[in-house]
Chain A
Amino acid sequence: MTAMSFVYLAAILFAIGAAAVLLRRNAIVAFMGVELMLNAANLALVAFAHMYAELDGQIMAFFVLVVAAAEVVVGLAIIIALFRARQTISLDEPAELKG
């Protein structure tokens, strides 16, 4: 069994995360779906690094992790601001975009 199996696993996790983003109305849950997708990508990166016996993949995964952390900070701040303004964090509520 090669590390390629982990890449397949990453693909499945990525799809699950995407489905969560599309399906869940709760902004925090949808956000967790995004996190899952990021982590799936990380898994693939680490798997590739293992296959090629190079450290660069791991470094890349490390950077993704840092960026994800920053993203979480800002994203959660936005959710809080949204909650303050609307008393809800449902993604279906902010329907001002409706034409």
Chain B
Amino acid sequence: MVNEVLFWTVALLTVIPSLALIFAKRPVHIAMSIVLVMVGLAAAYVGMGAPFLGMVQIVVYTGAVMMMFLFVLMLVGVDNAEDLRETIKGQKWIAFAAAGGLAILLIAVIGDATIEPRTGDVVGNPEEIAMVLFSEYVLVMEVLGFLLITAAVGALVLTHVPRLTPRRTQVELQAARVAAGADPVNKPMPGVYARHNALDVPALDPEGNPIEDSVSRVLEVRHQTQDGAEFRAQLEDTDNPDHEARPHGAPSRDSDTRNTREGEEPK
């Protein structure tokens, strides 16, 4: 006999989250739902006199297996919402029909089965389980050990990527960079203005033109840079009124050959 409350709790705790497998879009949500299912199943095991199995279920499934799933999900970086529209023609209906048919078939068979429950209460605590496991099933236990080791080695083999070329040293990397046309020296630091020392302002070369490479590329992409010309104009206004001001917004990058890399079109 089982507790009715337990059954319905478990039923709700397993069926509803498991439906996420079919309808949820984000894999992470699905994985978390399955964790819930596993916990529900563990509760069912404990309720049916299998406390050891319930604990193992929680430890192995929620603790190890599902965490590994999450880990792989993060590793492959596909935590994007999946488009649930079916691409294979008719697959949806076939799948629902097959799964529904399977459920009906199984329920019909179960309903048709005649089982005579025995009385008596056997509790699968660790001690009892161990007695059976290491007497009757000891050989199977050993074989399972082999299986686990093989699986571990197999996973290593499958995920191992052999190095085909020798590792390049720093000297070689540097030589390759220079050969490819990179600046041999460090890029200048941004924001060298005396009054505006910030990362979003380009440095100036000796002629007073801004060096746009000195600003982080990330800031450029986000349009969070400041124009150095603006500040230079302020400088010129205050310190050197004789100096001819350059037109705003055209800091003569075209004339500055130093910053135009070989093979790269000037912007």
Contact = CB atoms under 8 A, between A and B. Distances in A.
Judged by CB atoms under 8 Å, the answer to whether A and B touch is yes
A71 B64 CA distance: 13
A72 to B, nearest CB: 5
Given A23-B91, A35-B65, A62 B155 contact: no
A1 B7 contact: yes
Contact of B72 (A4, A59, A76, A92): A76
Interface string B107-135: 10010000101111110100011001100
What is the interface residue range for chain B against chain A? 35 or more
Contacts of B144: 63, 66-67
Interface string A71-83: 1111011111101
B194 to A, nearest CB: 49
Given A65-B60, A76-B69, A55 B37 contact: no
Interface string B216-253: 00000000000000000000000000000000000000
Nearest to B65: A72
B61 interface: yes
Contacts of A63: 137, 140, 144
Interface in B12-53: 14-15, 18-19, 21-22, 27, 30-31, 34, 37-38, 41, 44-45, 48-50, 52-53
B45 A46 contact: yes
A23 B98 CA distance: 11
13 contacts: A1-B7, A3-B117, A5-B7, A13-B37, A19-B98, A28-B27, A35-B34, A39-B61, A46-B45, A46-B50, A59-B133, A62-B56, A77-B155
Interface of A: 1-9, 11-20, 22-26, 28-29, 31-33, 35-36, 39, 42-43, 46-47, 49-56, 58-59, 61-63, 65-74, 76-81, 83-84, 88-89, 92
9 A-B pairs with least C-beta separation: A22-B95, A19-B99, A15-B103, A70-B151, A20-B21, A11-B106, A77-B155, A77-B158, A50-B48
Interface of B: 1-2, 4, 7, 10-11, 14-15, 18-19, 21-22, 27, 30-31, 34, 37-38, 41, 44-45, 48-50, 52-53, 56-57, 60-61, 64-65, 68-69, 72-73, 75-76, 78, 82, 86-88, 91-92, 94-96, 98-100, 102-103, 106-107, 110, 115, 117-122, 124, 128-129, 132-133, 136-137, 140, 144, 147-148, 150-152, 154-156, 158-159, 161
